[in-house]
Each structure stands twice: as C-alpha cells, then as structure tokens.
Amino acid sequence: MNIVNLTQVTYTYPLTDKPALSKVDLQVKEGEFLAIIGPNGSGKSTLCYALAGFVPHFFKGELEGTVQVAGVETKSSTLNEWVMNVGLVFQNPFNQISGAKYSVYEEIAFGLENMGVPREEIKSRVDQALILTGIDDLADRSPYSLSGGQQQRVALTSILVMQPKVLVLDEPTSQMDPVGTREVFGVIRSLTGRGMTVVMVEHKMEWIGQFADRVVGLYDGKIFINGKPREVLTSARLVGRGFGISRYTSTAREAVKEGIWPKDRELPVTLDEAIKGFKKISK
C-alpha cells in the first residue's frame, strides 16, 4: 500500500529558471523507511518540502505532476491539511523552537493547541511523547537552555505528538554529535517498528546502511538511483558525483584496486562489515 505517490513531479522556485525537481517519480510503501541521498543542490530539501506540502503552498511557484501523500493531493488541498498528515523536521534545531513557549512541555503542546485538541488530551499526548523520545527529564527546562541535540529531540517530539502518518526529516542529525545522532536514529527505528512511514535525507551513510529499507539518490533534481541500501550505497555510480560515500566503502574500494579486497566480495558500508571483511583477508 503506497502512502506516498509522486508522479512526474517538476517544480521550479519562483524567480528561478532551473527546475529544482525534474520529472520525479517516487513511491513509498506504508511503514517503509526511505533514505534520500544526493549532492548539495540536488533537490533533496525541495523534495522534503514537496512531501510536506510546503512546495508549492508555502513557497508558491509552479508544481507539475501529482503529489499524493497519506491521501492528500497537492492541488486539491491547503497547507493546513498537509500539516495534520505529514510531519516535517529539518536541520537547524534552533529555528524549530517556536520562541513562544517558556518550557519544553509547553513547546511540545504548541502544535496540539493550534489543532484545537482538548486540554486533557494535550496533556496525555505530551506525556506519552516525552517518554517516547526520552526527554521527559527536560520537560521543565527552557528550550533555549538546551544543547543542539536536545533541541533537535524537542523539535522531533513536538512534531511526533501531532501523530503524522508520514514523517519527513531533512538532515536531522547534521548538526549533532555521534551520541545525539544515535539517539535520533534510535527514536526513528522505534517509530518504524510501530509502522510509521519515514522519509529521511541523510549524509551519514553508515547509519542509512544500518536502518533504511530503501535508498533513493537524487542528482540534479532527478531520481538517479533507487534500490536496497546495500546496492545503492556501494554502487560505483555514486563515485565522482558529489555523493557522500561511506569511508568504509571507499577504503574497501581502494583495497580492491590494490588487489587486497577480493573483487567478487560485497563492499562494506558499516564499520562492522568492514571489520569482518578485512579480518577475513588477514587470515
């Protein structure tokens, strides 16, 4: 059952000539964890905005093709309908703190207040959400007193509490340290375990290799590659095009050139795979 259906989507931002997205076809199954990779300027953020309805409803401009997410179709809807169904989290945690609330608890309740949810229900949903993302100990703190990683988890929680059907994340861990990254991926894994559909733009290939069900690569506004994480992340097509490549994959690729790593063996994506692979060689 496809919960996301993009057909021949082409979009150009106002006052620009070149389309940011060009004839994009993309389907995502319900409950799938899709990772999106691509060099800078390849249209990843635009794709996230299109999935969340902000393209075109917020940015204006012409959108061709159809975008259908969680039963809502772009042309026949308003941004408010999108926001109920699709959650959006992006890179900079600081800009996702509303600034209108003095505690983390209230910050998380903000979305539910806007949706007109009754007070008792707000409290129970916020309480649950705080535990889900493990930030219940931060509930009384001011959002501005938190570290970047903590703020990002607050941002994620304030979107999750709205119970979107699809969660779109645009490089959510790019400004976080390894511990924070692990925490965010941990939360996302528990969400996909419960059947939430997640679309995430990421550069950290090792993490994608471990968690994603499928990987799509964008290049120049077009879908460049689409497949299982292993195939995509070790594909030679990524080389020399500005895609981030896992250091373990690159090292093993060099090792193949030197005749150290056997040509017919799969290239590693994660540290564990690299260790296993190189251990076999040294035996």
Which residues are near other proteins by CB under 8 A? 52, 54, 58, 79-80, 83-84, 87-88, 90, 92, 94-100, 102, 105-106, 109-119, 122-123, 126, 144, 155, 158-159, 162
Q: How many residues does the chain have?
A: 283
For residue 227, report the phi and psi dihedrals to the nearest 5 degrees: 180, -165
Task: Please report how close the Cβ of residue 158 comes to other proteins at its closest, in angstroms.
Answer: 6
Distance CA 174, CA 164 (A): 23
The nearer residue to other proteins, 85 or 235, going by C-beta atoms, is 85
Q: Are 38 and 224 in contact (CB under 8 A)?
A: yes
The nearer residue to other proteins, 158 or 249, going by C-beta atoms, is 158
The nearer residue to other proteins, 148 or 241, going by C-beta atoms, is 148
Task: Please report how close the Cβ of residue 217 comes to other proteins at its closest, in angstroms.
Answer: 25
- Tokens 């994620």 -> residue: 156
Distance CA 269, CA 233 (A): 7
Task: Please report how close the Cβ of residue 147 comes to other proteins at its closest, in angstroms.
Answer: 15
CA 54 to chain centre: 16
The nearer residue to other proteins, 91 or 246, going by C-beta atoms, is 91
Task: Please report how close the Cβ of residue 112 comes to other proteins at its closest, in angstroms.
Answer: 8
Beta pairing, strands 197-201 & 21-29: unpaired
The nearer residue to other proteins, 49 or 261, going by C-beta atoms, is 49
Task: Please report how close the Cβ of residue 184 comes to other proteins at its closest, in angstroms.
Answer: 17
Q: Are 10 and 65 in contact (CB under 8 A)?
A: yes
